[in-house]
Structure formats: C-alpha cells, structure tokens
Amino acid sequence: MDIKQGDIGLLMALDALLEHESVSAAAAQLGISQPAMSAQLKRLRQLFNDPLLTPSGRRLVATSRARRLQTDLRRNLQDLDALVRENNAFDPATARNTFRLVGTDYVHALLGPKLEERMRRLAPNARLAFLAFEPKTLWMLLENDTVDLALATGMSLPDAMSRTALAEQFCVIMRRDHPLSGEELTLEAFCAARHVLVSPEGGGFVGAADKALARHGLKRQVSVSLPSFLLAPALVAQSDAFCLIPRRLAERYKDIVVSHRPPLNVPGFDVTMLWHPRRQNDPAHMWFRGEVGALTKSV
C-alpha cells in the first residue's frame, strides 16, 4: 500500500492517534466511532509497515517511528488547512470561528471589554477566548494553531510575524485624597514614600524605577510586591503608598486613584502583536488581527 491508496482523512486520523495515544480519544476528536478509528489504525499500520501505537501496560504509546513522523505530519496538515482557508471568503456576520488571543492581565483588562463589544457587533456568532501569557510555550501555541494572536512585551520570536500594537508609558498612582494628590510630584517625595511594586514573575522588590533611581544614587522603599497590575489600584486607594502602573490602565481607575508623571525617566514598553506566518493570508485571521490592531490604535 502507498499514499495514493490513502487520503487526507487517514493522515488526520494518524495525527489524532499520535496526539492522544488512544483509539477512543482520537475517534472522539474526529467525530467517528471507535471501530471506524480502529479500522483507520489498521490501514495506517499497513501503510507505514509499523505498529505506530503499541501496548505499554494498560495504555498505548507511540513507536519511535511514529514519534519521528509526528512533527512533520502536523506541520504538513496545518499547511494544507491554511491552503484551504486562504481560498475561502470570510464573512464575520455569519462566521462561527473561535478566536483565541494570548495576553497579559494588562492586555486583557485594556482590550477585553471593547474587543468583546466589537466582536458581538460585527461577528455575533463567533467566540472569543482570552488566554494567559506563558512566554515559554507561546511559540508552540502559535505553531500548533492553539492560539491565533498574541499581544506580548519583550518577546523575541524570530520565526513569528509581528508588528507593534501600542506603546505604553508608566505613571505614578496614589489615592485620591492623598496629601500630595493635588501637587506636582517631586523626586524627593517619590523617594520618601512607601511603594507597591508589580512583579509579573512574582515576589520581586526591584523594578525599572529602582534601576533609574540607582543611576542617580537614590533609593525608594518598596514595601509590597504584587503579581498583577490589576491588584494595584484597589490596594493604593486604601493606603498612602505609590505605585507605577501603565498609563492607559490608570485611566480606567481614575475614580479611586489619581495619576502623576514620574519625577524621573522610567522607560515604558511596547506591546507587540505576534502570529504564525502560516496564518498570514488566512482571511479569518486577517480580519481578526485587523480588528485587534484597529482597537489597539484607539485605546
């Protein structure tokens, strides 16, 4: 038997079998019966002259040859899928796609409500998933089509398509009735205050402002470390502490905190939009990243 006697469906079955190492789970993924998937596995074993899945205790595991096949098989199936998508028109009004966007909590808070409203208005039957930003697995998620777009800071993915989505600056927030809320914030007052620091990695007490202060031979007192920018406004609103957070985010909490320009130069950051080259000409993907891009320009 050779590939001329097979079909794309057979290769899709192999992809599902290797992903799940289970006949029943692969059958469920493709929406066919377990006996039908068993028949597919039998044909695949004949095609490749290899067991592909072999018993190990109470479960099946992929053979060495099957593992060598898996990466190329997945990539080629994804390329074929992209080829088909590129030749299909996309109508957001009737589309039932699920669009998946990776971002930090800052990105989700900044864009989430407006993007949901935009999707509900333009693509009412589509679904939108916001996924957490995990730097170590981001490229794998893009490569496997697990996510459509990522909005990230400080990521270097040479193989990804990218463009700058927005440029952000930091501001200093304090509670609205703070004694210094109506005054210009001086460097002396900044250093004398207690500070809350947002450490995305968790537990850090040194940030960009501390490095900037050190260049002037100065220090500040960081008394609280938070893992998320979203936690800072509520905490600052109930204390005398200052906190540096992104300017656009501070504007969303102006009912409980006031913001000031930092009294020294604290570098801001860019948010970059990233996607896999395979999706570059996918009509649905082009529409989605266009909508996300338009939204980032308006916030």
DSSP letter string, 156-185 = --TTSEEEEEEEE-EEEEEETT-TTTTSPP
Give the predicted TM-score (pTM) of the model.
Answer: 0.72
Q: Which residues pair with 274 in a beta bridge?
A: 150, 162
- Is residue 2 within 8 A of residue 47, CB to CB? The reply is yes
Take residue 56 and report the two structure tokens written for it.
Answer: 């190990």
Looking at residue 84, its pLDDT comes to 66
Domains of the chain: 3-86 (1.10.10.10), 98-168+270-298 (3.40.190.10), 170-267 (3.40.190.10)
Q: Which residues contact 133 (CB under 8 A, 6 or more apart)?
A: 102, 103, 104, 107, 150, 152
Rg (CA), the chain: 25
- CA 137 vs CA 150, 192, 228, 264, 285: distances in Å: 12, 41, 20, 35, 21
Query: Measured between alpha carbons, how far is 285 from 272 in angstroms, rounded to an integer?
Result: 16
Looking at residue 88, its pLDDT comes to 67
Taking the chain (299 residues) in consecutive chunks of 10 residues, what is each chunk's mean pLDDT?
A: 61 88 91 91 89 87 88 80 69 93 94 96 96 93 92 91 95 96 94 94 89 94 95 96 97 96 94 93 92 94
Single-letter amino acid code for the residue at 227: P
Looking at residue 1, its pLDDT comes to 43
